[in-house]
A = this chain, B = another copy of it.
Amino acid sequence: MHKDQTDMSTAERIRGGDIRLASRLIRNLEDKNPRAREVVKELFPWTGRARVLGLTGAPGAGKSTITDHLISSYRATGHTVGVLAVDPTSPFSGGAILGDRVRMQKHAEDKGVFIRSLATRGALGGLAAAVDDAVHVLDAMGMDRIILETVGTGQSEVDVMNNAHTVLLALTPGLGDEVQTLKAGIMEIADLFLINKADQKGASKLYQELMRMLNMVSEHHSGWRPPVLMLRDIAHPEDFAQQVEELRAKIDEHYQVLVDTEVLAQREYRKARLQFLNSLRTSLLDPVVHELEESGELKDIVQRIADKRSDPHTLADELRSRFLR
């Protein structure tokens, strides 16, 4: 039965490929709009089909270029591709500032590609929750592959990567202490290492350092030892495209290992746990903060703390007995 467009719910229209509505929904999720959350609930039954690829690395590591080539590769085999670029947010401007999406404009006319940036406002750690939901939206839209691009190696980036089946870490030679970065959290979640601009000075040293680190890990998850791929610079686009095919083969190989071992189920469990905790935080905290803001009480509380007439913990604990059963 074919419903008339106007009779269809927002969720149904997004499932049907309404790009404009999907974009608006993602924007509303960033803004923590409670109605957006309800739409995501309706979309859940149609999620779980997409393969999610995480791509992280310092600015300048070539993430956009890699994403661009992966899109072309997936499109060539008829797969739809969604891209979420997760942007750190300035506490002042409150806006998304990350990189140059211009390079991706060549996919702008392709209905099989959906690219969005995602930022978050406020200090309640809503970024991870918004990313969880945006991935669900792209998944429900029918995107076969979702590329989740983040900058850096902070805790929030690690949390975001919880959504990925396979995590790629892009590195470039030249930054002397690059390997030190790896120790800071991301090392253990990377399933594939990419040395981009591998024709530059220092690439083989970086390769050796990575190998040494990987050798130090006595046991790799599910017997998967993260491979280190060298991507030469893009002076010859055809050459680069061929290297991206190799990368894509490795990604598929890793996914197959997840399926063949128990690790996929473990990851799905871990993902479900973090998503639930992120959702619980939104569900319990947002209405309380909203009420305190609307009544003007929040302003009084903050002023009392700033004036040292009380402290945050005492006031928060007083509210606990008022708001929690």
Interface residues of A (CB under 8 A from B): 37, 40-41, 44-45, 48, 58-60, 87-93, 97-99, 120, 123-125, 127-128, 132, 151-159, 162, 174-178, 180-181, 183-185, 187-189, 265, 268-269, 271-285, 287-289, 298, 301-303, 305-306, 308, 311-317, 319-320, 322-325
Contacts and interface: CB of A to CB of B under 8 A. Distances in A.
A238 to B, nearest CB: 25
Contacts of A127: 155
B288 A60 contact: no
Contacts of A314: 41, 44
29 contacts: A40-B313, A44-B313, A44-B314, A59-B181, A88-B155, A90-B158, A91-B158, A91-B185, A92-B189, A97-B184, A97-B185, A120-B155, A132-B312, A152-B184, A154-B154, A154-B155, A272-B302, A272-B303, A272-B305, A273-B302, A275-B305, A279-B316, A280-B288, A282-B316, A284-B288, A285-B285, A287-B324, A322-B325, A324-B324
A88 B186 CA distance: 9
A287 B183 CA distance: 32
A127 B40 CA distance: 28
A301 B277 CA distance: 11
Nearest to A221: B92
A101 to B, nearest CB: 13
Contacts of A87: 184
A88 to B, nearest CB: 4
A20 B282 CA distance: 37
Given A324-B288, A324-B323, A313 B279 contact: yes
B159 A123 contact: yes
A93 B281 contact: no
A128 to B, nearest CB: 8
A167 to B, nearest CB: 11
A187 B93 CA distance: 11
Given A123-B277, A152-B153, 7 more contacts: A60-B176, A88-B153, A88-B155, A89-B185, A90-B188, A91-B158, A324-B325
